[in-house]
Structure 1
Amino acid sequence: MSPVMNLMMFALGTCISSVISKQFVFINEAKTFSEAQIYCRWFHCDLASIEDAADFSLLQAAVRGITDPGAWIGLKKDWVGWRWSLSDSAFYKEGEAEYRRWKVGQPDNAAGIENCGVVDDVGEFWDYPCFTQNPFICYDGNETVLQRYVFVDQKMNWSDAQTFCRQKHTDLVSIRNQDENQQVRDLVPLGTLVFIGLFKDYFRWSDNSWSSFRSWSVGEPDDSGACVEQRLSDINTWADQNCDESRPFICQDGEKMQILRVNLKSVQNVNDPVMKVSIMKQIQQKLVNLGMPKDAKLQWRVQSDGEIFHPLENDMNSQKITC
């Protein structure tokens, strides 16, 4: 029996581009959210999703001068779970975005209002009300800085702390592993709860991207509905609205990707360059047979040690090799 190897790859579909070439298109036709979603997926890529401030600037430019009250974007209420404020997927290795070190009994959502994360002086996470005033820790990803983690001894609510970190540094701190947990813990004063970038998200983008970027109007979301509009009278804000209402909408053209995991068995060195080319061709042909466009681009996802394949640790046969 040969060892079972783990293959990870990206399959980039027909909507292929870099973030730089991402475009937003205003559609001046009144449709419900579901109708707008179908339209965008048919004629473009999807309803608009916003990855970061640069995307938001492009969105604002696409609707500048338009006088309609509001237009659908691709954000809709759908319980997601706990996630980090810094949403760049390239920042996290596999499993790091899910790192949590909850204190025993946490999260407990006391009184139903604890939607943000804090860390204590022993490095354990608590869920905590977002409106409370706490010090916080920023992360600075600038290559020129010497201090990656910055303790800010000013008391702010979570949203204001997030804005501060994004303006002065990169974002509220993400804690991706035990080593980073220790580094952050060393900054927390004794007996203090400090805001980190962890928050409870109730909204999901139509294209299933996981950006945490939000630009809510004051008092929003207010449970007026499950879908989100870009307010065109105030292009800097969003509001939740009833999904069955009809309004214009904003589509996006740009990057769209899928991640495939495939288990394969081989007695040969599957990390050999020739083998990787052969495997890629076979996978591409199978995907084409299943309906993927022939000009779709495939690329390997390189893991942290530079390899593509690793033996599956949970496979009982992975340690057995026979001729």
Structure 2
Amino acid sequence: MSPVLNLMLIVLGTCISSAISKQFVFVNEAKTFDEAQIYCRRFHCDLASIEDAADFRLLQAAVRGITDPAAWIGLKKDWVGWRWSLSDSAFYKEGEAEYRRWKSGQLDNSGGIENCASVDNAGEFWDVSCNSSFPFICYDGNFLQRYVFVSEGKRWKDAQTFCRQKHTDLVSIRNQDENQKVSDLVPPGALVFIGLFKDDFRWSDNSSSSFRRWSAGEPGDSGACVEQSLSDKNTWADQNCDEPRPFICQDGEKMQILRLNLKSVQNVNDPVMKVSIMKQIQQKLVNLGMPKDAKLQWRVQSDGEIFHPLENDMNSQK
């Protein structure tokens, strides 16, 4: 059963940033990460989130000439789970971003360091160390040859950089048909990197961007929040969230939060259901004149869920 959506606007400000409207603002006030987040949400949209290299160039321009050593951005350690390097939501149909085919006995996180995924020639996924050296498969959205096998062994991050520079990204496997096409490229007995990785960080505005620009050796164990160095390197490091420092906000088109009342016999917090619901909301808002490139994000509650049952619904179930 599809959920019935009753959309109701409430008077709480939030932002939808489109590709043509996103701007970054440096705030030269020393605040903790939480204080900076409150400030940005009150006077702008949110702390800065970086979608891609173009966003990063905009951020660099916003802090050019700043002499402070570092500033908070909107990235914070908060268990997210396994996700694909290619984060464009339009690339995935309903449920495709959650496609997994783990080999029996895998997801064992041997040594506590297996945060990247590989695939064998049977199409089964293995969790492996991101610092291991494996061949890899790129996805290229611009040519008929969509899947490109690279025999040179690289670490996962280096493979991701290669694919993004030469093609589109490390390959995503969205369904059984693609799984077969990808596994056909894997030599017998070999493992190759794919674009699946375990992410421990979440953007303040809940965007799904996998863009990262860590300094060498980062992230480490210095803290749960992320600062951007304002030196020529412009790289990121994790730091103690309670240390005051300046910060970078982002601006976008001002909108109001949508509160949704859903009637469904299904679990609306299920990832597949959330994708379906978001697509319905997106289409409704586009029909009302919202730009097609606008990005919508769920507002995650303190317990990590999106939806909670209404009290009267809970009483009716007693």
Q: Structure 1 residues 11, 232: CA separation in 2 closer, same or farther (over 3 Å shift)? A: farther
Letter in 2 for 1:20: I
Is the 2:32–2:241 Cα contact (8 Å) retained in structure 1?
yes
What 5-or-longer segments of structure 2 have no aligned partner? 266-280, 293-318
* 4+ long deviations beyond 4 Å: 7-14, 255-261, 296-300
Is the 1:11–1:298 Cα contact (8 Å) retained in structure 2?
no
Q: CA deviation at 1:94?
A: 1.8
Is the 1:11–1:297 Cα contact (8 Å) retained in structure 2?
no
Letter in 2 for 1:130: C
Query: 2 CA distance for matches of 1:49 and 1:297?
Result: 25
Residue of structure 1 in register with 2:3 after alignment: 6
Q: CA deviation at 1:19?
A: 1.4
Aligned to 1:253, which of 251, 254, 271?
251
Query: 2 CA distance for matches of 1:177 and 1:218?
Result: 35
Q: How does 1:39-58 map to 2 (within 5 A)?
A: 39-58=39-58
TM-score computed with the length of structure 1 as normaliser: 0.77
Query: 2 CA distance for matches of 1:137 and 1:192?
Result: 13
Q: Structure 1 residues 177, 227: CA separation in 2 closer, same or farther (over 3 Å shift)? A: same
Is the 1:19–1:254 Cα contact (8 Å) retained in structure 2?
no
Name the % identity.
76
For residue 15 of structure 2, give the secondary structure of its aligned residue in structure 1: coil
Is the 1:9–1:298 Cα contact (8 Å) retained in structure 2?
no
Letter in 1 for 2:20: I
Query: 2 CA distance for matches of 1:175 and 1:10?
Result: 33
Query: 1 CA distance for matches of 2:127 and 2:6?
Result: 35
The structure number with the bigger radius of gyration is 1
Q: CA deviation at 1:90?
A: 1.2
Residue of structure 2 in register with 1:171 after alignment: 169
Q: How does 1:90-169 map to 2 (within 5 A)?
A: 90-142=90-142, 145-169=143-167
Residue of structure 1 in register with 2:225 after alignment: 227
Letter in 2 for 1:99: Y
Query: 2 CA distance for matches of 1:122 and 1:259?
Result: 45
Is the 2:18–2:291 Cα contact (8 Å) retained in structure 1?
no
Letter in 2 for 1:225: G
Query: 1 CA distance for matches of 2:260 and 2:234?
Result: 36
Query: 2 CA distance for matches of 1:199 and 1:132?
Result: 13
TM-score computed with the length of structure 2 as normaliser: 0.78
Letter in 2 for 1:191: G
Q: Greater relative contact order: 1 or 2 (C-alpha under 8 angstroms, separation 6 or more)?
A: 1
Query: 2 CA distance for matches of 1:107 and 1:263?
Result: 35
Q: CA deviation at 1:234?
A: 3.3
Letter in 1 for 2:80: V
Query: 1 CA distance for matches of 2:233 and 2:54?
Result: 14
